[in-house]
Amino acid sequence: MSFAETLCLVLAAVYTLTCVALSIGVALSWHVGLERRRSRPDELLALRLLPTVGAAFLTLTVALPAFLIHEAHHEAERAGLLLVVLALSALGAAAHGMLRGWRAWAATRALLQRCGSADRCDERAGVDIVRVSEPLAAVVGLWRPRILAAECVSVACSDEEFRQIIAHEAAHVWAHDNVKLLLQIVSPDVLTWMAAGKALTERWRAATELEADVRASGCDPRKRVALASALLKVARLSSYTERRPLALIMPVAVDDVEGRVRELLGPRPVSHRPLPMKALVACALMIVGLSVPLYRSVHEFIESLVAFGTGWHGF
């Protein structure tokens, strides 16, 4: 095999190994203690995307330079069976992620087609009123998200309650939650097939609902009561128990109305400190710096990986 072909296989194989290790680490951490901890949406998102982002980061900043520095560029090698299997696993995970993304896009498009054109548009609230059977109130779409609300929701709620529902959905638009949802859907990692991965995404969605409630109503008691009342009315309207196909949509969820109402009618929300992005970037740069003396050892591991199984089936 040529140097370029070997390099591509090596990077894909290292990504797979690193991604599997990080996925197992995240799953164990989740089941051991993180599951019982109340976390913010950005913390849950970072944990969910850690295997993919971490594996890609380590592959490009550690494995790639180690291989380029210590590998003989003009020397052809045979790739062992293990290297090929790991590389194909990375390709399969990426393809499966794209398939999930396409299904989510198709489900979103089907929802928009079912809603059809808006019966009317409230430009001040930035919402399209649509005639659908279910009590829909949601942000739909990705690049140009639309806030859709079913006519039955606007009729059932008072003006103040309806404004709070739309403010809640506008908070999802502001936070780009549909984009964050897509990243979790297409993420090519082992965590996708683990119970912890599904639990993390569901917990993230629940946390985003609570955060959108806070952004919509803030500390204003009148707005908080109005939003709590609106949630109860939408929950009473909802008789749709079958789960929708996974789509790029952040609806007014009715899964945990009791908990959200309790939060809204309880004490004033406590502000949380955001993730220390500067500290995270500093840690990432530190990992890159500390790995430089280990490049030779990393290359030796890669060579063992390339050679493993060449006696069974080489390329």
* Cβ atoms within 10 Å, residue 93: 22
Tokens of 31: 């089941």
Which single residue is written with the structure tokens 């499966």? 96
pLDDT at 24: 94
**Contact in structure between 137 and 252 (CB atoms under 8 Å):** yes
**Contact in structure between 84 and 56 (CB atoms under 8 Å):** no
Residue 246 has pLDDT above 80, yes or no: no
Alpha-carbon dihedral 185, 128, 235, 263, rounded to 10 degrees: 70
pLDDT, tens digit, 9 for 90 and up, residues 158-185: 989 999 999 999 999 999 999 999 999 9
**Contact in structure between 161 and 226 (CB atoms under 8 Å):** yes
Query: Does residue 14 sit in helix, strand or coil?
Result: helix
Q: Domain segments of the chain: what residues?
A: 3-307
* Model confidence, pTM: 0.85
pLDDT at 94: 94
pLDDT, tens digit, 9 for 90 and up, residues 50-75: 999 999 999 999 999 988 888 776 66
Q: Pick from 267, 287, 266: which is nearest to 63 by CA?
A: 287
**Contact in structure between 251 and 232 (CB atoms under 8 Å):** no
Pairing of strands 146-150, 127-130: parallel
pLDDT, tens digit, 9 for 90 and up, residues 257-308: 888 888 888 876 555 666 666 777 777 778 878 888 888 888 888 888 888 7
More confident: 152 or 310 = 152
pLDDT at 17: 94
pLDDT at 302: 86
Based on its alpha-carbon atoms, the radius of gyration of the chain, rounded to whole angstroms, reads: 24
Average pLDDT, integer, range 205-209: 91
Residue 87 has pLDDT above 60, yes or no: yes
pLDDT at 26: 93
pLDDT at 295: 86
What integer best gives the mean pLDDT of the chain? 84
Per-residue three-class SS string for 256-276: CHHHHHHHHHCCCCCCCCCCC
